[in-house]
Amino acid sequence: MSSPVRPPALSTSLTTTPVHAASPAGAWWRDAVIYQVYPRSFADADGDGIGDLPGITARLDHLAELGVDAVWLSPFYRSPQRDAGYDVADYRDVDPLFGTLADADALLARAHSLGLRVIVDLVPNHTSSDHPWFRAALGAAPGSPERARYLFRDGRGPHGAEPPNNWTSVFGGPAWTRVTEADGTPGQWYLHLFDTSQPDLDWSNPEVRAELEDVLRFWLDRGVDGFRVDVAHGMVKAPGLPDWDGTTAMIDGGHDGTYGSEDGATGSGSAGPMWDQEGLHDIYRSWNRVLAEYDGDRALVAEAWVEPMSRLARYVRPGEMHQAFNFAFLTTLWSGPALRAVVTGSLEANDEVGAPTTWVLSNHDVVRHPSRLGLEVPGSRPNGIGTTDPQPDAELGLHRARAASLLMLALPGSAYVYQGEELGLPEHTTLPDEERQDPAWWRSGHTERGRDGCRVPLPWEADAPAYGFSPGGRSWLSQPDVFADHALDQQRGVPGSTYELYRTALHVRRERSLGTGSLAWVSGLRTTAGDVVGDDVLALVNRDLLVVTTVGGAEAVLPRGWEPVVTSGPTRASDEGGVLVPPDTTVWAVLRD
């Protein structure tokens, strides 16, 4: 069990409030830093302008050098790519765009030889409409076993011309599409919480459960270390599929920064008969048993947009999943009190069930955090940014993003890094609209720009065509000119670069076992004027490290004797000789004897 929190001796004018105790070393996923690879945009080996598995394998050294523990691969399965592979037509094969099963095996072998674990994406809420099951369902009659794998229903109103209920799709528009029956007449409707090409499976059907468990085994047998489970809060729907007047959004507006307030709302819409139903937990208990048959601490990670945090923690109770993405942290505004509340609330809720807390700032579904933090409301979360939208302040956004990342990497638990964030990559906010491929762009009637701007291929070399992404110089989405400054070869070995900041932080995090460490808030730090700092300065101790993050224009002076070991930005000596932490900066400091 946990040991008591024993923060190092601080100056007598400082007090600590313990939140989370250190834990002994355990399964790898409890404190892992996991790097998300988005295969189509990481590295292209065959020159078609779309990243692929051999491209990833060839660049795995980069991840080992960076110092992460594991890689999560977004989907690379056979798919018509209507939602960038989150529409799977064959769960047991690699899409020719990305390579072959042999390429997947080679990737796993190379990763393991470098000491990196590999998690793959599992998309169990829906298949592609090209999946053989859905094709069979279309060709079969209402009431047939083929249709019973999906959620086919008769329509309402005269001739069944109205959808079975009023649900809308997460990507916009209705969540139901009507099919034409074999005799040419307008027929039943099928449910798709996402695109029309992503029909929802019926998880009350034992055949569906058996099939997906078999898919788990297929990949476990090939050696994967776990699964990131897509839409893990959506597979089971309330009986009778009742109408719902709320929005069906997973990703809507911004967090109001009031996490931990009475409503604790992130605005991510997890209420409703399509989300967070009790029946999900039985599925995860049986998956847990499947994974437990295999050696090596295989893990299940929930992509579940569920709130409040106590509700999310139910997915990671003993015998269920192992981790859940902490979207409350990702959606919190750049505000000291809001960040403090979300960190405390996350650790407390997960400690209740004995699970590690995860931390994440960016992924393939949200505007990259250097851009979000440069917006007028820092940390707000538009669904994409286009040329005609207000543009982020790139410099300020990156400055804050480095502070946010360094805060994240100091926190106990497991952290997720989205490809390119180690380069400080901004969102592509001027991507031409005609290049957009996210179904959200056209399903919303061009009101939501969607997620293409965070999915632009990575820059490896400033002077190479497509910045070294593809030998042919092609790139499936055009890269903005500013990517040249962010290319890996411009940052590697350059003191102060974002890449070197991540590398150092990951090294120190590992060396000092911060992932299994403790957290206590520290109060009583002073400003240069000698006043006690306000709520916008976050100060915490994890093991023997003091971590100070200044938010919203606040400054703080490190207590006497503490010296920086990692800083997200420049610090300077205060008039009294202590180290001054300027606004929007994180410092990791140790006490010198």
For residues 225 and 423, what is the distance between their CA atoms, to the nearest angstrom?
A: 26
Ranges within 470-529 binding ligand GLC (CB under 6 A): none
- Rounded to whole angstroms, how far apart are CA atoms 284 and 441? 33
Kind of pairing between the strands at 545-550 and 70-73: unpaired
Query: How far apart are CB 303 and ligand GLC at their closest, in Å?
Result: 6
* Least distance (Å) between residue 140 CB and ligand GLC: 25
Q: How far is the CB of 284 from ligand GLC (least distance, A)?
A: 17
Least CB distance to ligand GLC at residue 50 (A): 17
Q: Could you tell me if 212 and 284 are in contact, meaning their C-beta atoms sit under 8 angstroms apart? A: no
CB of 193 to ligand GLC, least distance (A): 8
Q: In this complex, which beta carbon is closest to ligand GLC, that of residue 306 or of residue 522? A: 306
CA distance 437 to 449: 10
Q: Which is nearer to ligand GLC, 40 or 509 (CB)?
A: 40
Total of chain residues touching ligand GLC, rule CB under 6 A: 10
CA gap 419, 39 in Å, rounded = 10
Asked if 537 and 554 touch (Cβ cutoff 8 Å), the reply is yes
CA distance 318 to 448: 39
CB of 386 to ligand GLC, least distance (A): 19
Strands (E), 48-89: 70-73, 77-78
Strand-strand pairing, 556-557 and 519-523: unpaired
Spatial distance between the Cα atoms of 202 and 279, rounded to a whole number of angstroms: 12
- Least Cβ distance, residue 157 to ligand GLC (angstroms): 29
Q: What's the min distance (Å) between Cβ of 252 and ligand GLC? A: 13
x/- mask, ligand GLC, residues 354-383, rule CB under 6 A, reads ----------xx------------------
Residues of this chain, 303-332, that bind ligand GLC according to CB under 6 A? 303
Binding mask 244-283 for ligand GLC (x = CB under 6 A): ------x---------------------------------
- Nearest approach in angstroms of CB 93 to ligand GLC is 18
CB 335 within 8 A of CB 258: no
Contact residue for ligand GLC among 68, 123, 316, 407 (CB under 6 A)? 123
Residue among 72, 98, 194, 483 that touches ligand GLC (CB under 6 A)? 194
Amino acid at site 480:
P
Alpha helices (runs of H) in 253-381, residue ranges in sequence order: 280-292, 309-312, 327-330, 336-353, 369-372
Interface pick for ligand GLC out of 44, 52, 69, 83 (rule CB under 6 A): 83
Q: Is residue 86 at the binding interface for ligand GLC, with CB under 6 A as the rule?
A: yes
Determine which residue in the list 31, 230, 421, 536 makes contact with ligand GLC, applying CB under 6 A: 230
Task: Give Cβ neighbours of residue 248 (< 8 Å, ≥ 6 apart).
Answer: 167, 168, 169, 170, 175, 193, 269, 272, 274
**How do beta strands 70-73 and 33-37 pair?**
parallel
Residues in the chain: 593
Cα 30 to the center of its chain, rounded Å: 16
Give yes or no for residue 452 binding ligand GLC (CB under 6 A). no
Instruction: Between 45 and 302, name the residue whose CB sits nearer to ligand GLC.
Output: 302
CA 350/CA 314 separation, integer angstroms:
9
CB nearest ligand GLC: which residue? 86
Q: Is 203 in the site for ligand GLC (CB under 6 A)?
A: no
Residues that bind ligand GLC (CB under 6 A): 83, 86, 123, 194, 230-231, 250, 303, 364-365
